[in-house]
Amino acid sequence: MVCLIVIHVLSAILGLGPAYAFPFILRKASTAEEMKRNLTQVAYLEIFPKIFGTMAILSGLLLFFLGSYGPFAQVWIIGSLAVYVVIEILIIGLLNPTANKLLKLINETGAAALEEPAAHLIGLYARVRNLHLWAGILGLVIFIFMIVKPD
């Protein structure tokens, strides 16, 4: 059981940890090329939340069913799963399509490396950064549920 707890905690840290850096990586970009580079870096690092976030959910459910944590219908369990679903909806339904649209527009415009990006690109870039920020905040809510375990 201790091994499963270690796997759960480490996978949560490795899964969510890099995601907290995404809004910082997506800092203000002065050119479309810089936007593209930052978005590419984030896309590369998204492998951590995808793999380890999934491991955290699966190991957490396994811990619950193998351990003695009481009934399933507790605020911290249902709340954590509900927040996780909201994060997934946010990422899959809003963030990824917006990031893909932004990358497509950057590639289509072929803006010069020293050119300031167009206003619509700046707006989409800010939206991607803010959605990453909200996903991180919601991830903190999950950590709080896991630590405090409210009844």
Q: What is the pLDDT of residues 107-119, one digit of tens each?
A: 887 765 567 888 8
- State pLDDT tens for residues 77-120: 999 999 999 999 999 999 999 999 999 999 887 765 567 888 89
DSSP string, 4-57: HHHHHHHHHHHHHTGGGGHHHHT---SSHHHHHHHHHHHHHHTHHHHHHHHHHH
- State pLDDT tens for residues 5-40: 999 999 999 998 888 999 999 998 989 889 999 999
